[in-house]
Structure 1
Amino acid sequence: MDVMRQQVGPFRVLSKLGEGGMGVVHLAEDASGRRVALKTMRPELAAREEFRRRFGKEAEAARRVARFCTAPVLDAGFDGGVAYLATEYVEGPDLASVVRQAPLTGANLEALAIGVATALTAIHQAGVVHRDLKPSNVLLSPVGPRVIDFGIAQLADTSGHAPATLAQGMGTPAYMSPEQARGEQATPASDVFSWGSLVAYAGTGRPPFGTGGVAEVVYRVIHHAPALDGLDERVRPLVERALDKDPARRPSAQQLMDLLMGRSAVPVDAATRAVSETWTPVVAPPTRQDPPPPPAGRRLLPTVLVGLAAAALGVAATLAVLRPWEARGGGSGVAEPIRPAVKNGSCQCTDMAAAPFGGGDQMRMYAIFENVPQDVETVDVDLRVLGVLRDVPITPA
């Protein structure tokens, strides 16, 4: 959609989340207020008869995928010539944006490897092949990784396999399997190869077959050994097996999950619980966008969203933000904190009183504040009896 529609099917569009080769993704909500990620396919795809014929079939297959370490498909259809697909909305950054700041290590790297293997197991059990597993298709939620867009790349095949559509129709070069790179049919073993590339990237910050032009990367995928220097030895042996050029020698997603967890025939629900128990929430890296300067000369961000994951102490608290930018010069202490914005009489923040939690639990909280200077990148969040969290990144809402 070049111009954002306010309603697509049963969903009310709220804002744009991103854009890719297949279409545009929006944050939307259904009639009950449940938030979803709504992908609208590009008009040139939806106009093709072959695409329309396969869309319902592939979407229905994707809806059969169990919701373990995935963002399940909730609805799909056509509205006024617009093909749309709604999935569960996952709050959290994608793997690519996090690894650009620093690779994953320790328990989180292992949890990522298990979580993505679990998602692939659930996807393959439903008879679906992801075909385009890559860092931007893995979201890091507060309870662990979630794989999105499974089966969607299958629909792009209606556009053909010309070089211009290689990344869209066959997968993403740096993470595709050798058989995909040769134009052969993708299988569950192809997804396992992509798992190996993705885990190697997550643990080292580099794709194992390097970067560069499509032809150059594809040649390395087919002919070169992966570069795994610096990858944690606890996952490296499995990554090497997953990146075998021969798909018949690769382990299945279920075998990856079993080997990572040290026992056989691990159910996907048990693996999902294990991931959530060991996962440490990842705070999204701040994204700074400079808005046009206000006419009066004051440079203030009209609204700022503060997101954080805080260890719970079993008590309620009120969110407030200290204004360290005012504590300059000879002042002692910190200025009076600003309170979260209020809309229709309600605080625009996490309702702590309505969200009890116990010792050792974790909780993701947010608050929206107004009139924060544009050049401020972090704030100190005062959680009263929970204490003050220093240097929490802020992002324009």
Structure 2
Amino acid sequence: MYPQRFGKYELLAELGEGGMGTAYLGRAPDGRVVALKTMNRITFYSEDGPRRFERETAALRKVDDPHVAAFVDADLAGPSPYLVTEYVQGRPLDAVVAEGPLGEDGLRRLGLGLARALDALHAADLIHRDVKPANIIIAGGEPVLIDLGIAHHIDRTRITTRPIGTWCYLAPELLADRRPTEAADVFGWGAVMAYAATGRRCFAADSTPAIINQILNVEPDISGVPGWLRGIVGRALAKDPAARPSVRSLREAMADRPQVDLLQAAYQDARDAHEHARAEGIAFGLHAIAVAAGDAALAASSLLDQAHAARYSGRLDRAETLFEEARDGSAAVRARQDEGWAWDGVGVCRHGRGEYDAAGQAFAAALAIAEEVGDTVLRAWNLCNLGSLALRRGDAADAAARYDAGVAASREHPDIQHEALAGRARCALAQDEPENAELLYRRAAQAAREIGNHGGAGWAWYDLGESARGRESFDAAREALESALRIATEHGDRLMEGWTRCKLAGCLRDTGAKDEAVAMYEKARDVADRLNDEKMRNYATTRLEALTSS
């Protein structure tokens, strides 16, 4: 029964028991509430136990950081060795996350505070070795790391008595009997951040052997981790300790940098406004800041931003160079998602120059990374890209398979769904399935309309009309072309208006409405004159002359 006495401390309750000993809630002689940890006999009488404890206690006395439970007292020479640290008033991280994943502010505070705690421990030559949600207390919104140094001498007893749910935070080297370094704590940081961001473990098997296999051999599931956090978390969870970022890099990635945040917001505003030259200039400034700060991850991502802006400005040669630099920079910092988008951009640039084989290689690389990291948007786009290339080389069956997969992958992304459906419709036409193609074009028009992509909807109706006209279903053709014309005139799309009038005039001619067809060709020619579009003008004029001379 409690309370009990333990030397000069009053024990109030048992907090938990592990392979190394037992932890208690206690009260110090001065009235402070503390956490007191006793060492069991097996640990105490191990070959180097006392020396190790004395060394680590001396180091722990040097740790002074608000994100680390403060050292209070220790007695390792007596018959009942113990360690005393402050008792942190708060809630364990796993209890907080059980109510829902953390938002951006909470994730930044957790990531930065935990990185500072690890920095303080490592500066004192300590490695925590057991960074997990149960060892992180959230007090006043800030994380405090508990259960420190002495209690975490890794041995077989501690490993084998560990609950299944805590295994997934252990670095691979701790499971492979390799000497742990500071990088083991970085791995724990990454696993904790993934859990806090998603509410689930990134190694989620339900048995100890399966979890160990995942940690050693399987990439972590970090789908659902926000994009701004995913890169650094993915790098922290690298199997090879040497590939993980430093704790300093963790701190930089989590730090609230108002200048960087403002520039990133300004870049997005410029992109949304289609002011691509301004966007590229902002991204260039971000890159300069990143290089000056030694932030390789931000440097790589800002190169990618510059590349996207150059691409949408139509400067494909410059864009390709930037995409290649962004690809290499992203690979160096293990930002696999950004690397995938850089490959996608390289493919687009090569495709724009007619280098279709090289474009296909880039799109395939982007698709492989998309499937690895679980980026459904990147995957869907590159399925469409590869489908387009397959259709170009005349392989309609392969193209159809790619587009079918793209349609399935883009169900929650109407902008890509429109492209995938339109591409699949072109495959159906190539396979002599016009009625199926027209159903697909209708779906494409609907997907485009849902997101306000008026151009996409109009051209889908245009293609549907052409298909229906080709099989002499003139009522369906006229209905579709009139839908395209209505969209074109409502939104001032002269190019779509001119070509739709040309095709609608042909449909009227084919159904015997000669006068209406003449009027429609004349209006199409007027549009061509305003656009100075020689091809459209010749098309309308030739057919008008043939119609009026008959």
Match of 2:507 in 1: none
Aligned residue among 152, 157, 160 for 2:150? 152
Match of 1:91 in 2: 89
Deviation for aligned residue 1:178: 1.6
Output the amino acid matched with 2:198. T
Moved more, 86-95 or 245-254: 245-254
Partners of 1:127 and 1:167 lie apart in 2 by 26
Match of 2:116 in 1: 118
Q: CA RMSD in A?
A: 2.6
Match of 2:79 in 1: 81
Partners of 1:250 and 1:48 lie apart in 2 by 33
Aligned residue among 248, 254, 265 for 1:254? 248
Once the two structures are superposed, the pairs formed by residues 100-179 of structure 1 within 5 Å of their partners are 100-157=98-155, 161=156, 165-166=159-160, 172-179=166-173
Deviation for aligned residue 1:111: 0.8
Deviation for aligned residue 1:106: 2.3
Deviation for aligned residue 1:134: 0.7
Deviations 1:290-315 (A, max 9, x none): xxxxxxxxxxxxxxxxxxxxxxxxxx
Question: Counterpart of 1:36 in 2: which secondary structure?
Answer: strand
Once the two structures are superposed, the pairs formed by residues 333-348 of structure 1 within 5 Å of their partners are none
Aligned residue among 189, 202, 217 for 1:208? 202
Gaps of 5+ in 2: 258-292, 296-550
Is 1:190 paired with 2:184? yes
Partners of 1:210 and 1:156 lie apart in 2 by 23
Deviation for aligned residue 1:67: 2.1
Aligned residue among 176, 196, 199 for 2:193? 199
Match of 1:331 in 2: none
Output the amino acid matched with 1:140. I
**Contact 2:53–2:150 (CA<8 Å) still a contact in 1?**
no
Q: How many pairs were matched up?
A: 259
Deviations 1:171-202 (A, max 9, x none): 95211112222110111111101100011011
Gaps of 5+ in 1: 267-397
Structure of larger gyration radius: 2
Deviation for aligned residue 1:11: 1.8
Match of 2:50 in 1: 52
Deviations 1:349-385 (A, max 9, x none): xxxxxxxxxxxxxxxxxxxxxxxxxxxxxxxxxxxxx
Once the two structures are superposed, the pairs formed by residues 300-319 of structure 1 within 5 Å of their partners are none
Partners of 2:94 and 2:17 lie apart in 1 by 15
Output the amino acid matched with 2:74. A
Deviations 1:190-216 (A, max 9, x none): 110110001101111111111322221
Deviation for aligned residue 1:247: 1.4
Match of 1:29 in 2: 27
Aligned residue among 219, 223, 226 for 1:232? 226
Deviation for aligned residue 1:47: 4.1
**Contact 1:209–1:221 (CA<8 Å) still a contact in 2?**
yes
Match of 1:16 in 2: 14
**Contact 2:131–2:185 (CA<8 Å) still a contact in 1?**
yes
Change (3 A) 1:112 1:73: same
Q: TM-score of the superposition, structure 1-length normalised?
A: 0.60
Change (3 A) 1:230 1:84: same
**Contact 1:58–1:155 (CA<8 Å) still a contact in 2?**
no
Change (3 A) 1:80 1:135: same
Partners of 2:134 and 2:82 lie apart in 1 by 20
Deviation for aligned residue 1:101: 2.7
Moved more, 241-250 or 97-106: 97-106
Structure 1 moving runs of 4+ over 6 Å: none
Question: Counterpart of 1:235 in 2: which secondary structure?
Answer: helix
Partners of 1:38 and 1:265 lie apart in 2 by 42
**Contact 2:12–2:24 (CA<8 Å) still a contact in 1?**
yes
Q: Which has the higher helix share?
A: 2
Q: Which has the higher strand share?
A: 1
- What is the identity percentage for the equivalent residue pairs of Structure 1 and Structure 2? 39
**Contact 1:204–1:230 (CA<8 Å) still a contact in 2?**
yes
Change (3 A) 1:83 1:175: same
Question: Counterpart of 2:35 in 1: which secondary structure?
Answer: strand
Question: Counterpart of 2:10 in 1: which secondary structure?
Answer: strand
Change (3 A) 1:77 1:30: same
Give the number of the structure with larger relative contact order, counting CA–CA contacts within 8 Å between residues 6 or more apart: 1
